C-alpha cells in the first residue's frame, strides 16, 4: 500500500465532543450505572420511534433473549428466522433452549421471504423473528398479517435499523413503533448510532416492559434508583431468575447525544448511497433495491458482484488501494456452532442466503465520508469491473 494514500474504513462511529462532554457530566454526577440517564434515554428513544415503552439493555443480543422469553419461547419450541444474519439472531433463540428454524431470503434482497414463512410453521412455532437486515426494513406488513392470522408473535431484530422507516397505513413510521410485538435494537459501533455496546427493546405492552425491567436487573423487585432515593429502608426481593443485562448511565448519556444526531446521520447516509448508486449504476454491479414502502437508514451498503468477479479478488484489489470492505452477511447454518442436527432446522432451501454471502460485498459508508473517498471506491470498482469483463467469457447487460 502507498503510505501517502489515507485508508478508507468500511465503517466509523460518529462520535465527537458532545458525546465526550456527556460522559464527563455523568462521571462527575457520581452515578454511573443504570440510573437517570438510562431512564431519559429510554423516554427519548420511545418518543423518537413512537413506542409507548422502551427498555434499555446491555446489547441487542440480550434484548433478543428477553423478547423471546417475554413471548413465552421455551425449551422445545421453534422460532422461524433467517440463516442470513449475524449469528446473535439465532443464538438468542438457543439461549431459550428453542430451535431456530431457517427460511430463505427473498430474491433481489437480503430480508426474509414472507412467502416461505407459512410453510415453516408447525404446532411448536412460538415466534417469528424477522430481521431488518443492513437497516433495510423487511416486509413487515406481510409478516404481521401472517402473525395475526396464525396467532404467532412477531419479534423484530432491528439491530441495524435505528432510524429506518416503513410506510404504514399511508404514513411513514419509524421501525420500533410497535408494528410487530417487540423490536430489538443495537448500539454496537458497527451500527448507525452507538453507545459502545448497548441495546433497546420497544413494545406497546406494559406487561412485557415490566418483565424486561425485572429480568435485566437480576429479577430484583426494586430498582437501584428507587432504593437509593427512598427515605425509608427498603429490602428488595428476587421474584424470579433474572440476568445482569443493564445499560450503564455512561452509555445512555452517549446514546442521548447520538439519538439527537440520528436524523442528520441518516440523511447523510442516504445522500452517500445516492452518490454511490449514481456512480455504480453502469458497471454491472447489482445495487440494493429500496422498496417503495421502505426508507433504509443504510446501516450498510451491500452490492452484488457480477458472475465474472471473484469476491475475494475484488476485496483484495480494494484493500491494495487502502479501501476496506466486508463480504456479504454470514450464513448461520454454515458455522460450526450450528453443525449439530439439534442446533437448527432448515425449513427451505437456503440457496439465496448462501449466494448473498458469497456474491456480495459491503462497501465503505460512514459519517464524514468525502466525495473524494467515495470516488476512490467507485473508480477502483469501475476499473476492476472493466478489466474483468474484458477478460471474462460473458457480457453484462
Ligand atoms: C449487530 C447485530 C446483532 C447483535 O447486536 P449486539 O448489540 O452486538 O448484541 C443482532 N442481530 C443483527 C442482525 C445484528 O446486525
CB of 300 closer than 8 Å to CB of 276: no
Task: State the closest ligand 1 atom to the C-alpha of 133, by its place in the atom list counted from 1.
Answer: 13
**Best mutation site among 157, 191, 200, 356 for ligand 1 pocket (most ligand atoms within 8 Å of CB):** 157
Residue 262 Cα to ligand 1 midpoint, Å, equals 18
Residue 337, domain extent: 17-391
Per-residue pLDDT at 367 = 98
Number of domains, the chain: 1
CB of 122 closer than 8 Å to CB of 260: no
CA–CA dist 248, 283 (Å, integer): 47
* 171 found inside a domain: yes
Measured by CA distance, the residue closest to atom 1 of ligand 1 is: 159
C-alpha cell, 296: 433504509
CA-nearest of 138, 140, 193, 184 to 163 is 193
The number of angstroms, rounded, from the C-alpha of 344 to the middle of its chain's C-alpha atoms is 21
* 7 found inside a domain: no
103-108 long-range Cβ contacts below 8 angstroms, 24+ apart: 103/347, 103/348, 104/348, 104/349, 104/350, 104/351, 104/352, 104/353, 105/133, 105/352, 105/353, 105/356, 106/139, 106/352, 107/352, 108/286, 108/289
C-alpha cell, 12: 466509523
Ligand 1 shell residues, CB under 6 Å? 59-61, 85-86, 88-89, 131, 157, 159-160, 186, 188, 199
CA–CA dist 64, 397 (Å, integer): 42
Per-residue pLDDT at 74 = 98
Instruction: State the Cα angle at 298 between 147 and 64, rounded to 5°.
Output: 40
Per-residue pLDDT at 239 = 87
The DSSP element (H or E) to which 186 belongs, if any, is strand 182-186
* 397 found inside a domain: no
Task: State the closest ligand 1 atom to the C-alpha of 132, by its place in the atom list counted from 1.
Answer: 13
* 12 found inside a domain: no
CATH number of residue 310's parent domain: 3.40.640.10
CB of 166 closer than 8 Å to CB of 294: yes
Per-residue pLDDT at 296 = 98
* 56 found inside a domain: yes
116-123 long-range Cβ contacts below 8 angstroms, 24+ apart: 116/347, 116/348, 117/80, 117/143, 117/146, 118/146, 118/150, 119/347, 119/348, 120/80, 120/347, 120/348, 121/80, 121/150, 121/152, 122/78
Mean pLDDT, the chain cut into blocks of 10 residues (397 residues total) = 76 97 97 96 98 98 98 98 98 98 97 98 98 98 98 98 97 97 98 98 98 96 78 90 98 98 98 97 94 98 94 96 97 98 96 97 98 97 87 54
| Active-site annotation holds for 191 | yes
* 8 found inside a domain: no
* 83 found inside a domain: yes
Task: State the closest ligand 1 atom to the C-alpha of 64, by its place in the atom list counted from 1.
Answer: 10
Measured by CA distance, the residue closest to atom 6 of ligand 1 is: 60
**Best mutation site among 10, 11, 57, 61 for ligand 1 pocket (most ligand atoms within 8 Å of CB):** 61
Helix/strand/coil percent split, the chain, to 5: 40, 15, 40
Q: Say what angle helices 311-320 and 371-391 make with each other, to 10 degrees.
A: 130
* 278 found inside a domain: yes
Amino acid at each position: 500500500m502507498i503510505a501517502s494514500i489515507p485508508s478508507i474504513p468500511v465503517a466509523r462511529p460518529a462520535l465527537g465532543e458532545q458525546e465526550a462532554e456527556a460522559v464527563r457530566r455523568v462521571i462527575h454526577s457520581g452515578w454511573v450505572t443504570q440510573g437517570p440517564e438510562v431512564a431519559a434515554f429510554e423516554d427519548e428513544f420511545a418518543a423518537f420511534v413512537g413506542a409507548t415503552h422502551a427498555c434499555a439493555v446491555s446489547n441487542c443480543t440480550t434484548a433478543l433473549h428477553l423478547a423471546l422469553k417475554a413471548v413465552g419461547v421455551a425449551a422445545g419450541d421453534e422460532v422461524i428466522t433467517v440463516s442470513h444474519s449475524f449469528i446473535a439472531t439465532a443464538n438468542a433463540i438457543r439461549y431459550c433452549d428453542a430451535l431456530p428454524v431457517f427460511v430463505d431470503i427473498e430474491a433481489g434482497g437480503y430480508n426474509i421471504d414472507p412467502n416461505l414463512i407459512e410453510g415453516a410453521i408447525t404446532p411448536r412455532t412460538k415466534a417469528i423473528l424477522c430481521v431488518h437486515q443492513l437497516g433495510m426494513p423487511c416486509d413487515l406488513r406481510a409478516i404481521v398479517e401472517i402473525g395475526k392470522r396464525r396467532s404467532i408473535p412477531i419479534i423484530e431484530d432491528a439491530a441495524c435499523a435505528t432510524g429506518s422507516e416503513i410506510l404504514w397505513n399511508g404514513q411513514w413510521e419509524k421501525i420500533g413503533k410497535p408494528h410487530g410485538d417487540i423490536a430489538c435494537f443495537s448500539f454496537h459501533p458497527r451500527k448507525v448510532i452507538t453507545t459502545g455496546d448497548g441495546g433497546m427493546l420497544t413494545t406497546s405492552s406494559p406487561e412485557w416492559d415490566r418483565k424486561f425491567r425485572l429480568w435485566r436487573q437480576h429479577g430484583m423487585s426494586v430498582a437501584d434508583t428507587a432504593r437509593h432515593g427512598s427515605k425509608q429502608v427498603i429490602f428488595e426481593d428476587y421474584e424470579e431468575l433474572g440476568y445482569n443485562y443493564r445499560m450503564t448511565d455512561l452509555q445512555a448519556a452517549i446514546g442521548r447525544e447520538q439519538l439527537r444526531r440520528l436524523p442528520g446521520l441518516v440523511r447523510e447516509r442516504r445522500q452517500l448511497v445516492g452518490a454511490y448508486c449514481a456512480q455504480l449504476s453502469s458497471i454491472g454491479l447489482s445495487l440494493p433495491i429500496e422498496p417503495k414502502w421502505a426508507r433504509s437508514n443504510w446501516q450498510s451498503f451491500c452490492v452484488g458482484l457480477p458472475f465474472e468477479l471473484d469476491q475475494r479478488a475484488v476485496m483484495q484489489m480494494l484493500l491494495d488501494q487502502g479501501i476496506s470492505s466486508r463480504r456479504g452477511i454470514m450464513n448461520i447454518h454454515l458455522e460450526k456452532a450450528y453443525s449439530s442436527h439439534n442446533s437448527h432446522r432448515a425449513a427451505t432451501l437456503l440457496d439465496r442466503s448462501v449466494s448473498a454471502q458469497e456474491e456480495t460485498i459491503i462497501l465503505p459508508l460512514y459519517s464524514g465520508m468525502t466525495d473524494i473517498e467515495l470516488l476512490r471506491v467507485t473508480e477502483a470498482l469501475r476499473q476492476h469491473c472493466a478489466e474483468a469483463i474484458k477478460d471474462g467469457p460473458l457480457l453484462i447487460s
